[in-house]
């Protein structure tokens, strides 16, 4: 019988720093390993990535480091206990069709054809769970919803520590009841997607430190604070409010180990973009990114329909990236994006945790 190593705890870390999982390219095995080597917890992003590529990522991280790391998984509608019901909503289907029509002019500009959409696409959920169970990854985290208690128990049984992203006290309480081992508490300044448990929900604007304090009072679980942390003072404030560690993503986007595209990197450091906004334009879920032309044009008409909107805009984003045009790329980032710099990931860990 294969022995199971003791499950990971946040207190095992040399420094209370978690590298945010960033789907779509930025999160690489090299980045995860670098954060772990610096004493934190590095993460891989399994969202919108085939299971076999996730396997290869995990194997590569293990070749680079013997330390702990995590894999983040998107919870699809069909597996989301916080939003049970049919995966196909007729009203949402009509809104997606209208959005497709609106996007046609931009599609022609980039010379791409908009794909058919599949609201029932579950991003290889079953295959990824089976893979993670087999690989016995130290930490498995979930976002976009709340998986069933049986899923969390299944992973715990093979030695994985489980985490759920929450954006409110009720979400935190539900995740605790389901058996999550720790929670990632995401505040309003987070770059990228908001981790609300339902696509249509609009997360609150309660400052991160206040949200952490409220969650700390409601649940007795280790907490990772995420969203807009860009300085030692930011980290200290959420730690004082009750967080056991901090999660940072935006400041890692330009690091040497990140897989961030050239156009994305240039946009972050160019000075051309001055603000971030929250939009559904690229994916159908609320997400914070640099305000660009695509956001200005489509935010007001984008429906709350994930994964369909994400499927529709995928070829547009790819064409824009290939052309080096940031105006139609989802440039996910938090408000402190200007502080992101070209450097080793270890420097970011030291900057935030050590000062």
- Domain harbouring 24, CATH code: 3.20.20.70
Any idea which of 200-204, 209-213, 250-254, 319-323 has the lowest mean pLDDT?
200-204
CA angle 183, 53, 130 (to 5 degrees): 60
Q: Each residue of 263-277: pLDDT tens digit?
A: 999 999 999 999 999
In the structure encoding, which two tokens stand for residue 334, read together? 């938090």
Task: Please write the tens of the pLDDT for every residue from 70-113.
Answer: 999 999 999 999 986 655 566 676 899 999 999 999 999 999 99
Q: What's the pLDDT band for 5 if we cut at 50, 70, 90?
A: low
In this structure, are 115 and 126 located in the same domain? no
pLDDT for 127 equals: 98
**Structural domain containing residue 278:** 97-121+274-330
Mean pLDDT of 304-327: 96
Quick one: 101 exposed, middle or buried, by C-beta within 10 A (0-12, 13-18, 19+)? exposed
For 179, counting Cβ atoms within 10 Å of its Cβ (0-12 exposed, 13-18 middle, 19+ buried), the class is middle
Looking at residue 89, its pLDDT comes to 63
284-300 mean pLDDT? 98
pLDDT at 353: 87
Interatomic CA distance for residues 204 and 312, integer angstroms: 27
Are 191 and 332 within 8 A, CB to CB? yes
Kindly report the average pLDDT of the chain as a whole number: 95
Q: Supply the pLDDT for residue 6.
A: 76
Instruction: Give 4's pLDDT tier (boundaries 50, 70, 90).
Output: low
User: Quick one: 56 and 127 in the same domain?
Assistant: yes
Residue 43, both tokens = 């993460």
Model confidence at 355: pLDDT above 70: no
What pLDDT does 203 receive? 86
Q: Which of 325, 41, 8 minimizes the C-alpha distance to 182? A: 8
- Both 45 and 59 in one domain: the answer is yes
Whether 104 is covered by a domain: the verdict is yes
Residue 43 shares a structural domain with residue 64: yes
Instruction: Let me know how long the chain is.
Output: 355
For residues 204 and 202, give the distance between their C-alpha atoms in angstroms, rounded to a whole number: 7
**What is the per-residue pLDDT for 1?**
41
Whether residue 40 sits in one domain with residue 189: yes
* In the predicted structure, residue 304 carries a pLDDT above the cut 90: yes
Q: Are residues 176 and 246 in the same domain?
A: yes
157: in domain: yes
* Long-range contact set of residues 205-211: C-beta below 8 Å, sequence gap at least 24: 208/238, 209/237, 209/238, 209/240, 209/241, 210/241, 211/167, 211/168, 211/185, 211/187
| Token pair belonging to 33 | 């390993």
Number of domains in the chain: 2
Same domain membership, residue 325 and residue 203: no
Q: 248 pairs with which residues across the strands?
A: 19
- C-alpha closest to that of 259 among 30, 70, 87: 30
Mean pLDDT of 131-139: 98
Same domain, 177 and 224: yes
């Amino acid at each position: 019988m294969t022995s199971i190593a003791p499950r990971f705890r946040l207190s095992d870390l040399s420094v209370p720093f978690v590298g945010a999982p960033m789907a779509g390219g930025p999160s690489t095995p090299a980045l995860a390993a670098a954060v772990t080597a610096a004493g934190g917890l590095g993460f891989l992003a399994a969202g919108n990535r085939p299971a076999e590529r996730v396997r290869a990522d995990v194997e590569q991280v293990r070749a680079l480091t013997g330390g702990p790391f995590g894999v983040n998984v998107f919870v699809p509608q069909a597996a989301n206990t916080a939003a049970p019901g049919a995966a196909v909503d007729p009203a949402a289907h009509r809104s997606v069709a209208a959005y497709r029509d609106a996007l046609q002019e931009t599609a022609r500009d980039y010379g791409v054809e908009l794909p058919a959409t599949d609201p029932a696409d579950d991003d290889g959920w079953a295959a990824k769970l089976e893979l993670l169970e087999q690989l016995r990854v130290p930490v498995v985290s979930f976002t976009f919803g709340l998986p069933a208690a049986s899923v969390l128990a299944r992973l715990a049984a093979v030695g994985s520590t489980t985490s759920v992203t929450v954006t409110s006290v009720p979400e935190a309480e539900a995740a605790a009841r389901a058996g999550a081992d720790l929670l990632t508490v995401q505040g309003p300044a987070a770059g990228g997607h908001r981790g609300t448990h339902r696509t249509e929900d609009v997360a609150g604007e309660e400052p991160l430190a206040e949200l952490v304090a409220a969650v700390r009072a409601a649940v007795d679980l280790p907490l990772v604070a995420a969203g807009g942390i860009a300085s030692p003072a930011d980290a200290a404030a959420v730690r004082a409010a009750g967080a056991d560690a901090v999660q940072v993503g935006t400041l890692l986007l330009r690091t040497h180990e990140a897989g961030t595209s050239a156009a994305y990197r240039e946009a972050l450091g160019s000075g051309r973009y001055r603000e971030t906004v929250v939009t559904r334009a690229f994916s159908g879920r609320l997400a914070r990114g640099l305000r660009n032309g695509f956001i200005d044009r489509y935010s007001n008409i984008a429906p709350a329909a994930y994964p369909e909107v994400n499927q529709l805009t995928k070829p547009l984003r790819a064409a824009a990236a290939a052309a080096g045009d940031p105006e139609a790329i989802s440039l996910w980032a938090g408000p402190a994006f200007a502080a992101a710099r070209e450097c080793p990931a270890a420097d970011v860990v030291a900057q935030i945790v050590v000062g």
